[in-house]
Structure 1
Amino acid sequence: MTGVGSNWAGNVRYTARARHQPSSVDELRKLVGAADRIRAVGTGHSFNRLGDTTGELVSVAGLPPTVALDRDRGTVTVAAGLRYGDVATRLHADGYALANLASLPHISVAGAVATATHGSGAVHGNLATAVAALELVTADGDLLTVDRADPRFPGMVVNLGALGVVTRVTLDVVPTFDVRQYVRFGLPRAALDAACDAAYSVSVFTRWRSSRLDQVWVKQRVDEPPLPAEWLGTVAADAPCHPVPGMPAEHCTAQLGEPGPWYERLPHFRLGFTPSSGDELQSEWHLPRASATDALAALDPAAERIAAVLQVCELRTVAADTLWLSPNHDRDSLAIHFTWIGDPVAVAPVLAEVEERLAPFAPRPHWGKLFGRDPAATYPRHDDFRALLRDLDPAGKFRTEELDRYFPQS
C-alpha cells in the first residue's frame, strides 16, 4: 500500500482511502474481489475525476512487465501497466512496430486504451483500435479474456476503467519502419485539410493569435517523398522546435528531416524527458472531420479569450472506428486539443464558451480531459455500454461519481 497521491498535473488529488500496487495477478484478484469500491490508476495523465473513487485505487505497474510477441498472429501481448515507450523499444529490437503512437510515450497502455487516447494520421485510428484482445479482473475477482470474436468486444476496449482492472493487452503490430520529421511555420488555415493528408502523421499547432496556424509537425515514413522546399505556403524551420514557444526543444523528438525509428519520431516528446512542468490543464474535443472548417470558424469570435489562457492548441486527424465509446466512433475526426495554463478559475469560463461554440458540431470530448457537457447524446452506443456496465458490474464496484453522471445506473 502506498500514498494515494494525485494525477500528473496535480489538479486532481485522489480521494481514495488507500492505494495498492500488487506484484501478481493473483494478488490483484484478491484485492478486487474483497473491495467494495476500487479503481485502476495508470500514469495519471487524465485531468478529471473519472478515475477517482472514495474506495481504493490499484496500480498494475507492479505486475511482471511481460512483452510477448506472436509473429504468426502479428500481435504482441503486453502487461497493461507498461508505458508505450517501454513496449516500443522492445518491439523495435524484434523488428516490429505499432502503427500509431500518442504524443507522449510516457503513458500506460491500459490507461491510453481505456480513454481512446490517440495519435495522429488521416488513415490511422486511435490507440485502442490496435487492441486485439484484453485480459481483465472483473468485479468478482475472476479473470476474463475477450477478443474480437466476442460481440461485447467493441464496448469493452474503450471502457473508462468501468468494467474491471485490465492486466494484459494484445496489440496488432506491423514491420518496423523509419520516419523523418519536419516542422513548418505559418500554414494558411485553408490548407489545413491538405496538410493533414500529406504524410503518415501530421499535427498542427496554433495559439489563436494569428490567421495562420503557427507550426505543422509532419511525420513521414522514409519511403514517402520528402517535403518540397515550397509546401502549402509555409516556411521550413531551420532549428528544432517545441510546440510551446519558450520550452526547451531538447525535450522533443528529432526534427529537420533526420531519419529515425518510428518510436523516436511519432511521439512529439522523448521518453527520457519530462514533456512539460505539468503546470497545465487540458481539454480536447473530436468533431466530424467534414465540419473542421466551420468548427474552427465558430471559435474565431472567442480567439482573444482563448489565447489569454492558452499555452497551445493542437489539431489532429483520427480515422473512424467501431468502438462504442471512442470519440471517433463511425466518423473520421478532427481533434481540437487545448493545453491551458494551470489556472482552473481563469480557464473554466473559456472552456464553457468553447463547448458552447462547438455544440452544433456534435463534439465528443476526450474522456480523460476537462469538459462540462454530458456527451451521452453524441454516442449512438451509449445505452449499450450502460447495459454492459449493469451486466459486468451490477453492484457498481468500479463506478465513480463522474461515471454515474454520464452512465446512470437506473
Structure 2
Amino acid sequence: MTRTNWAGNYTYRAPAFREAGSVAEVQEAVATARQVRVLGSRHSFNDIADSDGVLLSLERMDAVLSLDEGARTVTVEGGIRYGALAAHLHGKGWALPNLASLPHISVAGAVATATHGSGSAVGNLATAVRALDVVTPWGDIRTFERGRDADFAGAVVALGALGPVVRLTLDIVPDFAIAQRVFTGLPFAALIDGFDAVMDAARSVSVFTDWRGDAAGSVWLKADADAADPGAEFHGATAAAGPTHPVPGQDGAVCTVQMGEAGPWHERLPHFRMGFTPSHGAEIQTEYFVPREEGPRLIEVMRTHGERLAPILMTSEIRTVAGDDLWLSPGHRGPYVGAHFTFRRDAEAVLAALPAIEADLAPLGVMPHWGKVFTMAPHTVRERYRRIGEFRALAEDTDPEGRFRNAFVRRMVFGAD
C-alpha cells in the first residue's frame, strides 16, 4: 500500500496497514488492533487519517447496496468513491444533491471532514447523509439515523473518532443536466460589491484567483442546462475562448466539459474528470471558512497577501455553501464561504505563510478545513465549534478507551495541545 497521501506531502507513520473487504473483516481488524483508523482515498493533507497502530483501507468495500426510489435514498459501502457512485446513480435516473470538485474522493472520508462542493443553496456533502453504520470497539454495528437518534448530528462529521463507517445512506434527487461556462478577468470590485449576485448566479459558482492585480483569473458557472445563457459577459468578466484549467498553464482538457455544452450532473459539477490526475498533483492544499456575510471582507483581506503568496500559490478558489446543523461542520453557524488554496509542494514555505493569513482572517471568525494544512492553535479551532463538548462526550461514550483516536483527534478535539 502507498505510504503517502495522493499529493505526496504527507507520509503515514502507522506501523501497520491492512485491507478489509467486508464488514466482518472490519470487525476482526478492530477487535485485534489496539489503535485503528480508516484510510480513505488519501486526499487529506495532514495527519487526520494517520494511526498509532493500524491503518485500515476499505477500498474493496465499494458497492452500491441498495437504491430506494420511494424513500429517495441510496445505501453504499464505506469505501466507495463519488465517481463510481455518481455513474451508478445517473444510470438509474438519479443524482446526488451536490458533488465536490474531485470525484476521486471517498464518500465516507468526505462526509467525516465536512468536505463540500459549491452552491449557495446546497450544504456540504455530509448534509446528504440519512444514516450511517459504524463499527464500535466491541465489534458490533451502531446505526445513527437522521430524525431518530439524538446524536445523529454529532455522528456524521466525526473525524473518524467514532469508528469505521461501513455503510452510509444518502439522500438522492432526480437526475439533472448541467452546462458549465467559464468567464475570465472578473474585476475584484464587481465581486466585492456584487458578492451575492455573483455567487448566486448558478447552481455552483467558483471564483479562481491568485489575489494579485485588479481582477480574479476566472469564474466558473455550473448552471442547470435549461438556465438562460449569460452571454459573452458576466459582471465585467468575458467568456473564455476555450477549455480552462483552475491552475494557469495547466491543460484544460483534464477538466470537465465547459463552453456551455450540457451534460450529466456528475460530469459537470466536479472540476476534474475522473480518469485524470485531479488538480495539479504534487501540491499542498489549505482551506479556510468564514460566515457568508464576511465574504467581501475575506476578499479584501486576501488581496493584501497576493504578492507575498505568489512564489508558492498555484491558485485559490472562492465558493459558497449553505448552512447546516452538524456539530463539527463549518456550516453549523449558518451559510459560509470557503477560501481554498492550492500551493506548490513546499511544506516549509507553506507553513511559514499560513500564520499571517490566519491572523488577518481571525476577526472574521475563520476556521480551517479539517483535512487540509493549517497552523491555527487547536484551542482556537475548538472555540469555533460550540457543540464540540457534546461531540467529545459522544466520542467518549462510543469509544471509551480511545481505540479510534489518533494524534489529530486528541489534539483538535480532546485538547491534548
TM-score, normalised via structure 2 length: 0.95
Per the alignment, residue 413 of structure 2 pairs with 407
Per the alignment, residue 401 of structure 2 pairs with 395
The code of the aligned residue for 1:292 comes to G
- Per-residue CA distance 1:223-265 (angstroms, 9 max, x = gap): 2212133321111001101011111111100000000000000
The answer to which of 191-200 and 44-53 deviates more is 191-200
Mapping 1:280-319, distance limit 5 Å: 280-319=283-322
Per the alignment, residue 68 of structure 1 pairs with 66
- Per-residue CA distance 1:343-395 (angstroms, 9 max, x = gap): 01111121111111111111111100001112111111111111111111110
Flag structure 1 segments of 5+ consecutive residues without an equivalent. none
Does residue 367 in structure 1 map to residue 365 in structure 2?
A: no
In the alignment, the residues of structure 2 paired with residue 234 and residue 213 of structure 1 have an alpha-carbon distance, to the nearest angstrom, of 9
Per the alignment, residue 342 of structure 2 pairs with 339
Q: Does structure 2 conserve the Cα–Cα contact (< 8 Å) formed by 1:134 and 1:146?
A: yes
Structure 2 residue corresponding to 1:26, chosen from 20, 24, 40? 24
Q: Does structure 1 conserve the Cα–Cα contact (< 8 Å) formed by 2:110 and 2:126?
A: yes
Per the alignment, residue 153 of structure 2 pairs with 154
How many matched pairs?
408
Per the alignment, residue 331 of structure 2 pairs with 328
In the alignment, the residues of structure 2 paired with residue 123 and residue 212 of structure 1 have an alpha-carbon distance, to the nearest angstrom, of 26
Flag structure 2 segments of 5+ consecutive residues without an equivalent. none
Partner SS state of residue 158, structure 2 = coil
Structure 2 residue corresponding to 1:102, chosen from 100, 103, 111? 100
Deviation, 1:409, is: 6.8
Structure 1 residue corresponding to 2:386, chosen from 370, 377, 380? 380
- Per-residue CA distance 1:288-338 (angstroms, 9 max, x = gap): 110111122223332211222100000000000000000111311110000
Per the alignment, residue 115 of structure 2 pairs with 117
Per the alignment, residue 139 of structure 2 pairs with 141
Q: Does structure 2 conserve the Cα–Cα contact (< 8 Å) formed by 1:4 and 1:19?
A: no
- Per-residue CA distance 1:60-93 (angstroms, 9 max, x = gap): 1122623411001000001121110100111001
Partner SS state of residue 103, structure 1 = coil
Q: Does structure 2 conserve the Cα–Cα contact (< 8 Å) formed by 1:386 and 1:409?
A: no
Per the alignment, residue 178 of structure 1 pairs with 177
The code of the aligned residue for 1:31 comes to A
Partner SS state of residue 308, structure 1 = coil
In the alignment, the residues of structure 2 paired with residue 140 and residue 16 of structure 1 have an alpha-carbon distance, to the nearest angstrom, of 22
Per the alignment, residue 226 of structure 1 pairs with 229
Structure 2 residue corresponding to 1:90, chosen from 81, 88, 91? 88
TM-score, normalised via structure 1 length: 0.97
Aligned identity (percent) is 49
Q: Does structure 2 conserve the Cα–Cα contact (< 8 Å) formed by 1:4 and 1:18?
A: no
Q: Which runs of 4+ in 1 moved over 3 A?
A: none
Q: Does structure 1 conserve the Cα–Cα contact (< 8 Å) formed by 2:62 and 2:80?
A: no
Partner SS state of residue 202, structure 2 = coil
CA RMSD of aligned residues (A): 1.3
